[in-house]
Amino acid sequence: MLRTALLVAGKDLRQRLRDRSALVIAFVAPFVLASIIGLAFGGDFAFKATYAVADADREPVAAGFTDGVLASPGLRDLVTVRQVDAAEARALVDRGDADAAFLLPAGFSASVQRGGAATITVLESGENPIAGQVARSLAEAYAAELAATQLAVRTALAQRGQPATAAEARELGERAAAGRLPVQLTEGQVGGRTIEAANYFGPSMAIFFLFFTVSFGARSVLAERRQGTMRRLLASAASPSGVLAGKALAAFVLGTSSVLVMWLATTLVFGADWGDPVAVVALTISSVLSAIGITALVVTLARSEEQAEGFSSLVVFTLALLGGNFVYLAQLPETLQRVSLLTPNGWALRGFVDLVADGGGLATVAVPVAVTLAVGLATGGLALYRARRMVAA
Amino acid sequence: MDNDPVLWCKDLRKRFKERLAVDGVGFEVAPGETYGLLGPNGAGKTTTISMICGLLRRDGGEVTVAGASLDRDPGQVKAAIGYVPQDVALYPDLSGLENLRFWGRMYGLAGRDLAERVEATLEVVGLTERAGDRVADYSGGMQRRLNIAAGMLHRPRLLVLDEPTAGVDPQSRNAILANVEALGGEGIAVLYTTHYMEEAERLCDRVGIIDQGRLVAEGTRRELVARVGERDRIELAATGDLAGLAAVAARVDGVDEASVVGGGVHLVARDGRRLLPRLLEAAEHSGAEVTSVELVEPDLEAVFLHLTGKALRD
C-alpha cells in the first residue's frame, strides 16, 4: 500500500506541476491577492484617528473627557487630538483633516453638576467610518459613565444636604473618565499589539487558496474514473486505499508547500512575522488536513468532475466569507466573529493572529490546531469511506 | 515451462439487479495461445474479463491465472495479468515515456529493468521517436498502441485486451493486430475480446462465442464451422457445357449441391478447399472449360448468425 501511495502521489504531483493554472493557484495567486488587499488596508491594522475637540466649557467634567478619555493610555498612541474652537472643528471635519469632532458646549460641567442633561456633539467626516464609529462610542460611553456617577454622587449629596463643591465636580469628571470603555479597538483581539496586513492577509489568503489547491486531489479520483486509469490502477493490484492515500499525500505535499511558500514570500518581501515557526508549521499541517478532508468529502457527494468543481467552489467561498479570509475578523461585529469559528478557516486564522499578537508558541495555537485537526479527521474519514466505495464501483 | 493453461475459469456468473450479465462462462487459455471472446456489444465480454482481472466481484465461479487462484491470491493473479482496457486509459498530460514508467512501476518494475523494458516496448509499438511527447498530442492510433504497450510492459503471463481496436483507423488497427500476433510467439497467453469477426479470424487460435452472457460455442474457426454444419460455396466460372459440368461436379464425394447459375456453376460442399483439386480434375472431362474458381468459406459471422439467430453487429 505504501509503495502504491508513493507512486500515485509522485505521479499526481508531476501532473500538478505541469499544470500552470494549478501552480498559479497554489503559489502565485495567494501572494498577489494578499499584497493587493494588504495595500488596500494601508499596510497595517493599527487604529489611527484624528479628532478635533472644541471644549467651550473648559471646566472639570469636560476636561475629564478631553484629558481623561482621549488621553487615556489605551488611546493616546492611536488618537491625535486637536484642540480647536467649534467652527474650526467643523471645518476640519468638512475638509477631512479630522475624522471626527467632539463639541462640548459651555456650561457642560455645570449642567452635569446640577444633575441635568449634558450633550456632547459628535461630527463625523465619513471618510473614515470606523474612526467615526469609535468617536461616537467614546462619547456614548462617557455619557453613560457620567450618568452612573451622577446617580452615585447625587445620592451621596442628598444624604449630606449640600451642593457639590468644585473639587467634588472635578472628582465627578475623573471618576467618569476612569470608567471602563466599551470600545477596546484592536487590543482585545490581538493582545494589545497591532497586526500588520501581511501578517493577517498572508495566512488568510494562503488558507483561502489552500482549499482550491488541495481540492484537485479529490477531484482527480473522478478524473481517473472518467479516463479509465482507475480501472487500470486497480487491475495492477493497487488497493483502493493505496490509491486514495497517494492522492491525499500529493494534496498534502502541495497544500503544505503552498502555505509555506506564502510564509516565506511574505516574510522576505513584506517583512511579515507569522510567529513561532514550530507553531506555524503545526497550524499549517492541521489546516491542510482540514482542507483536504472537507474538499474530499464535498467531491464524494458529486457525480461528475464539473459538479465536484461547482460544489467545491461554493463550499470554499462560503467558508472563506464566513471564516474571515477577505476581511479582518476583528473589524467584524461580534456575532460574525463567533460565526467565523464555525469554520476551520476561522479557527486557523484565529490561530495565526494569536501567534502574531501574543508571540506565543504551540500552546497558543493548541485549540485552533486541535479544532482544525478534528475537522480534517472527521470529514476525511467520512470522505475515505465514501471514496472507497466510489473507487471500487 | 509447462503446458498448463495460463488462464482457467469456470462457471463465472454476474448479475446486475434483474439482468444476468454473465451466466456460467468458463474457458481456458494455453501459453502462447490467443483466445478470442467474440460477441456483440452487451454480450458480457467486458463483464467476463472484469471478473477475471479482479475488477468486478463475481457472483459465482472460479478463476486461476498462472496457477494462482483469484480468491486466494488476488495479488499474484493481478501481477500475472496485463490489462488493456477498452478505452485509452493513460494520463494525457504526461508523456508516453512517463506513462510507461509509471505503469511499469505499478507492476513492480524499477531501475535498469524498467528502463530496458520501456525502451523495448516503445520500439515494439513504434513510438520511440514520440516517447517524450505528451499523450494528449498523440493521434488516436498512437494512443491505442501506447495503451497496449502499458499492458504488456511487465511481460505478463496473460494479456487481456478488451476491444483494443474500437474506433481505430485501418492503419493503426493493422499495427495493433500485428503487435498482438507477435505476442503469441513470445509465449504470452492472450485473451482478446472483439465484435469484429475478421479480427477474431486473423488473430485467434480459438474463439469463444458469447451471447447474452452465455458461452454458446467454443473452438477453432474450422471446428465452429463444422459444428454448426455450415458449408463452403464454390463458384466455378466456365464456358461450354455448363449442365455437364454441374452433373460431373455433383458426383464428386463431398459436394452436396450443384447448379448452373448465369455463366457458371455454383456448388455447396463440405471442406471445399480440400475438394478443389478433384473438382478441377473432374471438370476436364465435362465438356466445359473452367475459367476461374472462387471458394467462399463460411466465416464466424455466419457461425454467429447460425448459433444466435442474429448478426454480430446487431
Same domain, B218 and B89: yes
Model confidence at B132: pLDDT above 80: yes
Same domain, A86 and A143: yes
Domain span including residue A151: 49-185
User: Bigger pLDDT: A38 or A378?
Assistant: A378
Last residue of a domain, one of A141, A170, A185: A185
Q: CA-nearest residue of chain A to B84?
A: A232
Same domain, B123 and B87: yes
- Interface list for A 9-28 with B (CB within 8 A): 11, 14-15, 18-19
Test the B interface: residue of A18, A216, A229, A388 with most B CBs within 10 Å = A229
Residue B46, domain member (yes or no): yes
Model confidence at B231: pLDDT above 80: no
Query: Is residue B207 exposed (0-12), middle (13-18) or buried (19+ Cβ within 10 Å)?
Result: buried
Q: What is the mean pLDDT of residues A197-223?
A: 82
User: Bigger pLDDT: B130 or A44?
Assistant: B130
CA of B75 to nearest chain A CA: how many angstroms apart? Answer: 5
A347-369 pLDDT, tens digit per residue, is 998 888 888 777 778 888 899 99
Q: Does the beta-carbon distance from B83 to A18 stay under 8 Å?
A: no
A28-37 pLDDT, tens digit per residue, is 777 777 777 6
Model confidence at A256: pLDDT above 70: yes
Q: CA-nearest residue of chain B to A234?
A: B55
* Overall domain count for chain B: 2
Same domain, A24 and A62: no
Q: Does the beta-carbon distance from B78 to A4 stay under 8 Å?
A: no
Domain span including residue B251: 231-297
Q: C-alpha grid cell for residue B147? A: 495503451
Q: What is the mean pLDDT of residues A322-335?
A: 76
User: What average pLDDT does the structure give for chain A?
Assistant: 80
Model confidence at B82: pLDDT above 80: yes
CA of B56 to nearest chain A CA: how many angstroms apart? Answer: 8
Last residue of a domain, one of A152, A169, A185: A185
Q: Does the beta-carbon distance from B83 to A238 stay under 8 Å?
A: no
For residue B89, the model assigns a pLDDT of: 92
Q: What is the mean pLDDT of residues B55-79?
A: 91
For residue A352, the model assigns a pLDDT of: 87
Q: Does the beta-carbon distance from A4 to B98 stay under 8 Å?
A: no
Last residue of a domain, one of B198, B226, B254: B226
User: Bigger pLDDT: A54 or A272?
Assistant: A54
Last residue of a domain, one of B226, B256, B286: B226
Test the A interface: residue of B55, B56, B76, B106 with most A CBs within 10 Å = B106
Q: What is the mean pLDDT of residues B287-301?
A: 83
Q: Does any CB of chain B come closer than 8 Å to the CB of residue A250?
A: no
Q: CA-nearest residue of chain A to B54?
A: A235
For residue A186, the model assigns a pLDDT of: 32
Residue B54, domain member (yes or no): yes
Q: C-alpha grid cell for residue B7? A: 488462464
The single-letter DSSP state of residue B188 is -
Asked if residue B84 lies in contact with residue B24, where contact means CB atoms within 8 angstroms, the answer is no
Same domain, B239 and B214: no
For residue A188, the model assigns a pLDDT of: 29
Partner residue opposite A19 with nearest CB, options B85, B93, B106: B93
Partner residue opposite A18 with nearest CB, options B78, B90, B93: B93
Asked if residue B132 lies in contact with residue B56, where contact means CB atoms within 8 angstroms, the answer is no
Least confidently predicted of A159-163, A377-381, B106-110, B297-301: A159-163
Place B303 in a pLDDT band, splitting at 50, 70 and 90.
confident
- Chain A residues with CB-CB distance to B88 below 8 A: 227-228
Test the A interface: residue of B52, B55, B78, B91 with most A CBs within 10 Å = B91
User: Bigger pLDDT: B50 or B232?
Assistant: B50
For residue B286, the model assigns a pLDDT of: 82
Residue B81, domain member (yes or no): yes
B215-227 pLDDT, tens digit per residue, is 988 988 878 877 7
Q: Does the beta-carbon distance from A11 to B78 stay under 8 Å?
A: no
Same domain, B187 and B237: no
Q: Does the beta-carbon distance from A237 to B79 stay under 8 Å?
A: yes
User: What average pLDDT does the structure give for chain B?
Assistant: 87
For residue B179, the model assigns a pLDDT of: 80
Q: Does the beta-carbon distance from A18 to B94 stay under 8 Å?
A: yes
Test the B interface: residue of A225, A231, A239, A391 with most B CBs within 10 Å = A231
Same domain, B203 and B262: no
Partner residue opposite A11 with nearest CB, options B79, B81, B102: B102
In angstroms, the Cα distances linking A31 to A197, A199, B57 are 12, 12, 49
Same domain, B237 and B217: no
Same domain, B18 and B154: yes
Domain of B266, CATH number, reads 3.30.70.100
Same domain, A200 and A290: yes
Residue B312, domain member (yes or no): no
Partner residue opposite B89 with nearest CB, options A11, A18, A229: A229
Same domain, A27 and A65: no
Q: Does any CB of chain B come closer than 8 Å to the CB of residue A238?
A: yes
Place B294 in a pLDDT band, splitting at 50, 70 and 90.
confident
User: Bigger pLDDT: B144 or A75?
Assistant: B144
CB contact set of A315 (below 8 Å; sequence gap of 6+): A211, A294, A295, A298
Q: Does any CB of chain B come closer than 8 Å to the CB of residue A167?
A: no
For residue A375, the model assigns a pLDDT of: 93
- Chain B residues with CB-CB distance to A231 below 8 A: 55, 83, 85, 89
- Chain A residues with CB-CB distance to B99 below 8 A: none
Same domain, B257 and B130: no
Same domain, A124 and A160: yes
CA of B270 to nearest chain A CA: how many angstroms apart? Answer: 45
Tell me what ipTM this predicted complex has.
0.78
**DSSP strand E in chain A: where?**
49-55, 79-83, 100-104, 121-124
Partner residue opposite A228 with nearest CB, options B87, B98, B102: B87
**DSSP strand E in chain B: where?**
7-16, 19-29, 34-38, 60-65, 68-69, 81-84, 158-162, 189-194, 206-211, 214-219, 232-240, 255-261, 264-269, 288-296
Partner residue opposite A228 with nearest CB, options B54, B89, B105: B89
Size of interface A-B (CB pairs under 8 A): 57
Q: Does any CB of chain B come closer than 8 Å to the CB of residue A119?
A: no
Same domain, A170 and A231: no
Same domain, B172 and B28: yes
Positive or negative torsion for Cα A266, A270, A271, A273: negative
Nearest 5°: CA angle at B249, between B244 and B251? 105
Least confidently predicted of A120-129, A187-196, A207-216, B145-154: A187-196
A148-205 pLDDT, tens digit per residue, is 776 666 666 666 666 666 666 566 556 655 544 333 333 323 333 455 666 777 888 8
Same domain, A170 and A80: yes
Last residue of a domain, one of A137, A168, A185: A185
For residue B26, the model assigns a pLDDT of: 92
B168-200 pLDDT, tens digit per residue, is 777 778 878 888 877 777 788 999 888 888 888
Of the candidates B3, B1, B54, B46, which has an alpha carbon nearest to the alpha carbon of residue B25? B46
Q: CA-nearest residue of chain B to A10?
A: B102
Place of cell 515494439: B124
For residue A288, the model assigns a pLDDT of: 93
Same domain, A168 and A274: no
Place B158 in a pLDDT band, splitting at 50, 70 and 90.
very high
A30-77 pLDDT, tens digit per residue, is 777 777 766 665 555 556 788 999 999 888 888 888 887 888 766 777
Place A229 in a pLDDT band, splitting at 50, 70 and 90.
very high
Same domain, B216 and B277: no
CA of B25 to nearest chain A CA: how many angstroms apart? Answer: 21
Place A374 in a pLDDT band, splitting at 50, 70 and 90.
very high
> What percentage of chain A carries pLDDT values higher than 70?
82
Residue B216, domain member (yes or no): yes
Same domain, B173 and B30: yes
CA of A224 to nearest chain B CA: how many angstroms apart? Answer: 9
Residue B314, domain member (yes or no): no
Dist CA B69 CA B54 (whole Å): 11
Domain of A56, CATH number, reads 3.40.190
Same domain, B222 and B259: no
Same domain, A136 and A75: yes
* Overall domain count for chain A: 2
Same domain, A329 and A250: yes
Residue B1, domain member (yes or no): no
Same domain, A60 and A131: yes
Same domain, A164 and A274: no
For residue A371, the model assigns a pLDDT of: 94
Q: What is the mean pLDDT of residues B33-38?
A: 90
A277-302 pLDDT, tens digit per residue, is 999 999 999 999 999 999 888 888 88
> What percentage of chain A carries pLDDT values higher than 90?
18
Sheet holding B264-269, edge to edge: B255-261, B264-269, B232-240, B288-296
Q: CA-nearest residue of chain A to B106?
A: A236
Helices A240-270 and A29-40: crossing angle in degrees, nearest 10, is 40
Q: Does the beta-carbon distance from B55 to A234 stay under 8 Å?
A: yes
- Chain B residues with CB-CB distance to A7 below 8 A: 102, 105-106
